[in-house]
């Protein structure tokens, strides 16, 4: 196999690994929500397929997605939920909270750094 074929095969394998990782993360998130509040699972699945019977169709436009952060988008949904029976305020607050959490390993790194100073 030539270099080009090897690069394509490597890229394909990397894409497979990414797809598997994303699937496992989505599964873990769905399991977490199901254990925390099973009533939220249909709302998560409706979000994944952008179900306009639950979420207003105009909230999934490219203009809206680029104008709002995830946290702000869920804040808007929370306001809409106050006037609608299709989605709950509690669900919107949970999703907003999840999207507001920092995706950082800083505290874990500090623990290992401290541990390293103690062991050395």
Q: What is the mean pLDDT of residues 15-34?
A: 84
Where do the domains of the chain lie? 37-119
Q: Could you tell me which residues come within 8 angstroms of residue 92 by beta carbon, excluding any fewer than 6 positions away?
A: 74, 75, 77, 78, 81
User: According to the model, what pLDDT value does residue 6 have?
Assistant: 74
What are the φ/ψ torsions at residue 34 (nearest 5 degrees)? -60, -40
Span 82-105, pLDDT tens digits: 888 888 999 999 888 888 776 665
Span 36-86, pLDDT tens digits: 899 999 999 999 899 999 988 888 999 998 999 988 999 999 998 888 888
**Model pTM score:** 0.66
User: According to the model, what pLDDT value does residue 120 have?
Assistant: 43
């Amino acid at each position: 196999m030539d270099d080009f074929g090897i690069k394509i095969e490597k890229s394909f394998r990397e894409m497979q690994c990414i797809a598997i990782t994303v699937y496992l993360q989505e599964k873990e998130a769905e399991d977490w929500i199901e254990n925390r509040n099973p009533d939220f699972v249909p709302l998560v699945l409706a979000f994944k397929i952008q179900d306009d019977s639950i979420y207003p169709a105009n909230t999934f436009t490219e203009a809206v997605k680029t104008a709002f952060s995830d946290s702000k988008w869920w804040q808007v949904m929370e306001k809409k939920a106050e006037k609608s029976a299709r989605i709950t305020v509690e669900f919107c607050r949970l999703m907003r909270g999840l999207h507001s959490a920092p995706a950082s390993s800083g505290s874990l790194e500090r623990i290992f750094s401290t541990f390293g100073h103690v062991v050395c």
